[in-house]
Chain A
């Protein structure tokens, strides 16, 4: 296979990892909303935890995006 083509295919496959982060973020905000609508008075106290979870989950998606970007521009 042409190495350039292999590089681009690899970058595309690496981006699939972001699907996991998408599922995770959907879960995170969905569960938060479900909980917050049941008990709105307790929601404000958990906003910090929500953002922490957002940053930790999003970072995992960024890892796979990083692999794709490294394949595209640095290899």
Chain B
């Protein structure tokens, strides 16, 4: 994202700041605020899961049951949308890692002053490409060339195929695009809207007699924050569900 030029531009909050310049084989691998928050998110997840499962007992404590709830939630999603047998279990760690990473990044971004990692399309596009590469690699490894039958809907008259096959291919190619843009756009637009409505409070306070109205945008900002918390969770869930749906194509092949 381009950084806002001075003042209090609503997209200023998404600016990348290089904290420690670093070059690895001519590639810019500097430590930025984005990197710090990604490491923080992964560290948070690992610490939480480590302490939650450290003294695992049959009757779970508070921390352990929280971790079990998250696990059950993702496992249920995988069971319903991917495969309820052995192959679903194989992909559970992958889906769990994606879900946990996106969820914690979204929630960290909701803390004022914190950087939202998932508001940059480069991050979400990398995640989406990871998912689609997994689909392609696993699909071709399991079904071989017949995985391409995915693009040929069964039970369709032959004269329709020249129209339907390109449509199927386009819809497949647009999957990583929509997967990444959905997450990034939700986070970006949500944070910009929050910032704009918060800016109204300040504008109204400085507007003399109109300042009596300033609690209105404040209340709206509070309500928006609640909505954004819901969206932060829902988008992580949607990302996990769609990952499962796409992976189930690779697992089950053409129907």
Contact = CB atoms under 8 A, between A and B. Distances in A.
B2 interface: yes
Contacts of A16: none
B188 A51 contact: no
Interface string A38-75: 00000000000001101110110011011001000110
A66 B234 contact: no
A63 B1 contact: no
Nearest to A65: B189
B241 A52 contact: yes
A17 to B, nearest CB: 12
A55 B238 contact: yes
B185 A58 contact: no
A59 B235 CA distance: 9
B184 to A, nearest CB: 9
Interface of A: 51-52, 54-56, 58-59, 62-63, 65-66, 69, 73-74
A39 B127 CA distance: 39
A47 B235 CA distance: 16
Contact of A52 (B2, B4, B11, B238): B238
Given A51-B237, A56-B182, A65-B189, 15 more contacts: A52-B237, A54-B234, A55-B238, A59-B182, A59-B186, A62-B185, A62-B190, A63-B181, A63-B185, A66-B185, A66-B188, A69-B11, A73-B11, A74-B1, A74-B2
Contacts, number: 47
B213 to A, nearest CB: 23
B186 A62 contact: yes
Interface string B220-247: 0000000000010011011001000000
Interface string B198-235: 00000000000000000000000000000000010011
A37 B11 CA distance: 43
Report the interface size class on chain B.
20 to 34
A74 B185 contact: no
A51 B181 contact: no
A69 B231 CA distance: 19
Q: Pick the most buried of A52, A54, A62, A74: most chain B CB atoms within 10 A of its CB.
A: A62
Interface in B164-198: 181-182, 185-186, 188-190, 192-193
A52 B1 CA distance: 28
B18 interface: no
Nearest to A59: B182
Contacts of A59: 182, 185-186, 235, 238
Contact of B234 (A51, A63, A65): A51
A69 B189 contact: yes
B9 interface: yes
Contacts of B188: 66, 69
Contacts of B253: none
Nearest to B227: A58
Contact of B9 (A51, A52, A62, A73): A73
